[in-house]
Structure 1
Amino acid sequence: MNLDTQSLQPIINFIWTVADDVLINKYLENQYQDVILPMTVLRRLDLALEKSKDKVLKTHNEFKSKMDNLDGLLTSKEHGSGLAFYNTSPYTMKKLLDDPKNIDSNFLDYLNGYSENVQDIISKFKFRNQLETLENGGITFSLIEKYCNPKVELRPEKISPMAMGYMFEDLIRRFNEKTNAAAGRHFTPREIIELMTHLVYLPVKDQIQNGTFLVYDPCAGSGAMLTQSKKYATDPDGEVKSKATFHLYGQENTGEMYATCKSDMLLKNEDPEKIKFGSTLSEYGFEPNLKFNFMLTNPPYGTSWKQDIDNLNVGSGKKVEINDRRFNLSIKNHKGELEEKCLTSRSNDGQLMFMLHMLSKMKDPKDGGSRIASVHNGSALFTGDAGSGESGIRQYIIENDLLETVIALPLDMFYNTGQPTYILILSNNKAKSRKGFVQLIKADTFFKKMTKALGKKKSELNSEHINKIVELYLSNENNKYSKIYTNEEFGYYSLKIKHSEKDFKDNHDIKDFEYISLTENIDEYIKNEVLKYTPNAKPDKKSAKIGYSINFIEKFHQANDYRELKDIISDIELLESKTLGLLNTVLK
């Protein structure tokens, strides 16, 4: 079900006024979010605990001197909050307003009363760093009063985690635009998430009706992709209607987004310990042998992973060699021999490294295998020559028959980029009809223009568009919007050719490259396409390298229908006769 984002605008607008009404002249504009975002999360947690406040305090006071660890009691339904977190201070945000004179010390006591899992959230927001500024500016009371206004409806039963993720992302986008900062890299439009969940779960819906499944997002952001995927799979009125148990795992390296994600996991009674903080590439937070059934993500693209390279201890020099089994893989050379290589992308774009990371977390096909949906820009499809890390990663994916489908999305779908974007669907347990093939879906014309742009997002998908794309994917047929190619058709040999001056009237020896499809024989190609025209050319077969790229323009190119030569000649002769007749008339 699509999220009604318009209904959230009044709440977002009201929260936005807090900055203008309370923080102005006390904070710089680029610091507003350091207060607004954590206060929004804390108020949401505060409202969730309101009903159980008296019960929690009673249990805490009764047992605090008798037991060292009260977590079990204070989170139980019978004696505590009934949630995975609690607050043992005597205050709620509303009660803080009853004592304006002591509000700063009481607010600190309120923050200190939260359970350890919420302390982690407060810490990642670095919110305690703001308390002195709030106190010195005399704005603590005004800030809390604003958030206790009924117009700020943040109750979990009213605002879902998906809606909360949208609100946060919209607020952060506004902050970034106001300060001319780069737009957030975490933001995935909700209709794109909806499309991805359909593509991941529908093909295997009969196999996931019961049991336990693990879902993972290595770039979790606000966690919306995780929570929405579970909601879609388990919705009793949905298309899958699974009764299985789904555990959500994620990792995020931006403090504010990690804190947002973890807070919503708490409110959804998901295990907050399954959300880890840190860089997935160099500080992976889970057991190395933990595998996942489903993975959905929108990794950062066009973003440096240089710090990860340094953290992974790769040594000195320009050549990156990472001693990590996720990135050291076997691919074929031009002789068909397997060679182990360290496959790394350029340091200024780590998106394909996240893909390799996810591939290492796939379950064995004997155990059902894994399915991946990941959003990328065009760089992941064609950047990098034969022999480069990017090309090698594509080679590994395609030669191991992991790539099912690539879907070209419409332009202007994302808040922070207008460039072409694609959804890649991967599986290590392909259906029999898909084995050895890759499906390309050209869905860039399936959209409607938005009435009002959000950042750079000017286009959106409706249910009809999503259903059309899913239908094309499931049918897996060749048509105007869908093309099926063998794996080999995306590969090519890059071969150095030295041309002799004997074959040219004016120049000297020339070196260039021939790009030969893997579906062709190298010797036959050289004979028919090179030596036929430049008989003195010398191919350097030792220089041959294998490359892989996915070019939508080339694969969807429609050849023009050309007229017969005799018809063209006839028309030219007719034009000449008319022109000559006109010239003779003028000359007379």
Structure 2
Amino acid sequence: MSNLNISNFIWNIADDVLRDVYVRGKYRDVILPMTVIRRLDAVLEPTKDAVLSMKARLDKAGVANQHAALCQASGEAFYNTSQFRLRDLAARARRQQLKADFEAYLDGFSPNVQEVLDKFKFRNQIPTLIEADVLGFLIEKFLDPSVNLSPKPVLHTDGTVRLPGLDNHSMGTIFEELIRRFNEENNEEAGEHFTPRDVVELMAYLIFMPIADDIQSGTYLVYDGACGTGGMLTVAEETLVKLATDHGKEVSVHLYGQESQPETFAISKADLILKGEGVEAENMRFGSTLSSDAFPSREFDFMLSNPPYGKSWKTDLERMGGKKDLRDPRFVIEHGGDPEYSLITRSSDGQMVFLANLLSKMKSASPLGSRIAEVHNGSSLFTGDAGSGESNVRRWVIENDWLEAIIALPLNIFYNTGIATYIWVLSNRKSESRRGKVQLIDATSWFKPLRKNLGKKNCELAPDDIIRICEAFLQSKEDETSKIFPNEAFGYWKVTVERPLRLKVELTDARLRAFRKACAEAGEQDVVRAVESMAEVSGPGPHMDFNAFMAEVEDAASDLGVRMTAKRQKLLMSALGQKDASAEPVIRKASKPKAGADAGHGALYGSYHMTVGGKAAVVEYEPDTELRDTEQVPFLEDGGIEAFFRREVLPHASDAWIDESKTVIGYEISFTRHFYKPQPLRTLDEIEADIRALEKETEGLLEDVLVGGH
């Protein structure tokens, strides 16, 4: 039976048994835990008697710590010491007896399974199921002999396979399909994006294949900071073990994961327990990876993840002290000479913060270092201005030369979203041929359509598509679908371009009345006397040089014994100055020129050499904030910032300069720019043919309208 058929089978149980007891969106509260319970129960059935016998002997001997012995008896990493199997409970007729026996059955599971049941909060549903008298029917449906929910196959009497087992990722696919249906019934979004097996297999190959020949016998740690149902980890483990075996090596793989959604955490832990990896299951941790990192001091050899994208992490940010007070060393680091270089992104989307979390856990001392594959949507490529958290993450990654490649996946490859998605491949041990470079692969057209959509997923990566992508990555050659760029191709300077403030002053009666009012409100009536005294000498203007006007006011103020403070000067500028493009620039500061200073170079950065009051001076103009602009100058710009400025800015604004103190470094990656294929223009003959066809279609239409109007 296919995964889709099993999903339909379980959905039909919900519809048959829970209708009129729960609204459809709440079916999940019962169906998901019951599916896990039946999965666990099916595995334990063959050794049930052995476990009960061992339990009795241990109790008789007064042994307190029984876990290891009971696991040995069950042959698994878990057990159930109650007197019941699910089959025994299906025959219970009386409601209260069934309730007591079912609760005893749940209580009989080992402690590691109890955590799974607690995260599902399944015990809270038992009173409702008993009251509606449907628990017995529910158990009976899950015992259908035509369906196998166990990871182990069901055999015929002759030993041949009657029903294949369900591995971890297949079970995860079924859970995802069920959750999607439940949420659709409730008009909700799933919120998370379960990663299809085809994408997971590609990610595993991308991190393992480049170092397949270098894998040595030993222990390797694999981590997923948004592990969901754990499928990505188990597929990675299978791939690594197979590659090592093919190369004659023996490896021990330890899995680590963290998940914040209780249901999916419970599923991931249950499946590791089912695989017989009880110790490994303890490495599955519940809680938020961002605000409550379960592995703060761990470093991992391989990391794979599909973090939530487009999802707010505001709650996590607040738990960590908010953007201003956050000091987590994963997200506030030292880089580029900045001891508090921030990787904190907008609170509306935390996917790049998840990437920073993985990067903080890279091994630096091992020969292979760490390799990472993470899924992102398009915003991680370009969202965020220079100096923002998103841009800073990109800069940190690329300037450390960790980014090997980004692969653009086909649209509609995921179950819950049809948007563009990308796999980022990173390593802190790049091969010699990849150093200083980034490969972009456009795999958007490499897929096979599905015969039937699975949610929004309408295509898949067939084995040959996966091979094609891996070969393009491993060969690292350029063609129309694979392009290689130097790291610097993605960097730019964000330059702030200033223009001088140009003010004129007209001392008309109306302007003076407004000035007197402003001075009265500011408590600076003495300035009025100085301005009026100056106006008597120099007239009402217009005064097109604000600097000369200020000098005259200061002279008049001195004669009157009025001191022109900085506050009073600002009052003159704001209350009397009027912007005029033909006025002289307002000087903010004048200083003595330095010996050997390049006047031409200085002018680009707002330092102008001129004569002021008969003396040589270097002046800086007051910038006009309304004329302020920014330009992005690529790192690969021939001649750098100055050449760009002379070519692109000065011909259009000869009085502009660069405020060097505001120059910020940014990074962005544009797939569209590098892989854009323009549509060929239509020929004139084709356009003419269309016009003539339209004329023919509309011939007589106007006449018909006019005649009809009469």
TM-score w.r.t. length of structure 1: 0.89
Structure 2 partner of 1:52: 47
2:310–2:350: 8 Å Cα contact kept in structure 1?
A: yes
Asked if the contact 1:494/1:513 (under 8 Å) is kept, the reply is yes
Deviation at 1:163, TM superposition (A): 1.0
1:271-297 deviation digits (Å, cap 9, x = unpaired)? 2101000101111223x2211100001
Separation in structure 2 between the aligned mates of residue 399 and residue 190 of structure 1, nearest angstrom: 32
Distance between the aligned counterparts of 2:143 and 2:191, measured in 1? 28
* 2:164 maps to 1:171: no
Residue pair 2:402, 2:427 contacting (<8 A) in 1 also: yes
CA contact under 8 A between 2:300 and 2:361: conserved in structure 1? yes
CA contact (8 A) 2:193 2:415 kept: no
Is 2:413 the partner of 1:294? Answer: no
1:222-252 deviation line (CA, Å, top 9, x unaligned)? 1110111111222379876753111111111
Q: Aligned partners of 1:506 and 1:253: how far apart in 2?
A: 63
2:79 matched residue in structure 1: 86
2:289 counterpart of 1:280: yes
Q: How many residues are aligned here?
A: 545
Is 1:99 the counterpart of 2:92? The answer is yes
Q: Is the 8 A contact 1:413 1:457 kept in 2?
A: yes
Deviation (angstroms), 1:418: 1.2
- Return 400-409 or 94-103, whichever deviates more: 94-103
Alpha carbons 2:244, 2:251 under 8 Å: kept:
no
Determine the structure 2 residue equivalent to 1:3.
Answer: none
> Which runs of at least 4 in structure 1 moved beyond 3 Å after TM superposition?
236-242, 499-502, 504-509, 557-562
Aligned counterparts of 1:512 and 1:27: Cα–Cα separation in 2: 59
> Which of 476-485 and 529-538 deviates more?
529-538
Query: What's the CA shift for 1:518?
Result: 1.6
1:48-75 Cα deviation digits (max 9, x unpaired):
0011100100010111241111001001
Letter in structure 2 aligned against 1:109? A
Q: Secondary structure at the match of 1:374?
A: strand
Q: Counterparts of 2:241 and 2:423 in 1: how far apart (Å)? A: 23
Matched residues in 2 for 1:532 and 1:249: separation? 59
Comparing 196-205 and 517-526, the one that deviates more? 517-526
Amino acid of the residue matched to residue 448 of structure 1? K
Residue matched to 2:361: 361
Is 2:255 aligned against 1:248? yes
Which range moved further: 227-236 or 28-37? 227-236
Aligned-partner residue type, residue 57 of structure 1 = L
1:145 aligns with 2:145: no
> For 1:125, which of 96, 110, 120 is the aligned residue?
120
Tell me the residue number matched to 1:567.
none
Deviation by residue 1:389-415 (Cα, 9 ceiling, x = unmatched): 111111111111111101111111111
Letter in 2 for 1:298: N
- CA shift for structure 1 position 209: 4.2
Distance 1:284 1:498 in 2: 45
Q: 1:322 aligned to 314, 326, 342, which one?
A: 326
Q: Give distance in 1, aligned partners of 2:43 and 2:179.
A: 23
Partner of 2:495: 495
Map 1:426-465 onto structure 2 (within 5 A): 426-465=426-465
1:102-139 CA distances to partner (integer Å, 9 max, x unpaired)? 21110000000000000000000000000110111111
Identity of matched residues, %: 45
In structure 2, distance between residues paired with 1:134 and 1:69: 35
Q: Aligned to 2:654, which of 506, 519, 535? A: 535
1:312 aligns with 2:312: no
Give deviations 1:371-394, integer Å, cap 9, x for gaps.
000000011111000111111111
Say whether the 8 Å CA contact 2:51–2:79 is kept in structure 1: yes
**CA distance in structure 1 between the partners assigned to 2:500 and 2:368 by the alignment:** 56
Find the counterpart in structure 2 of residue 581 from structure 1.
none
Q: Which amino acid aligns with 2:262?
A: G
Structure 1 residue 174 displacement after superposition: 1.1
Structure 1 residue runs without a partner (length 5+): 1-5, 563-570, 572-588
Stretches of structure 2 that go unaligned for 5 or more consecutive residues are 153-164, 503-579, 584-623, 685-710
Query: Equivalents in 2 of 1:47, 1:308: separation in Å?
Result: 39
**One-letter amino acid of the counterpart of residue 517, structure 1:** P
Does residue 234 of structure 1 match 2:238?
A: no
Q: Aligned-residue CA RMSD in angstroms?
A: 2.3
Tell me if the contact between 1:381 and 1:550 (Cα under 8 Å) persists in the aligned partners: yes
Of 635, 658, 667 in structure 2, the residue corresponding to residue 518 of structure 1 is 635
Q: Which structure has the larger Rg?
A: 2
1:157-214 alpha-carbon deviations (Å, 9 max, x no partner)? 1111121111111111111112211024141111100110110100111222411100
Match of 1:223 in 2: 230
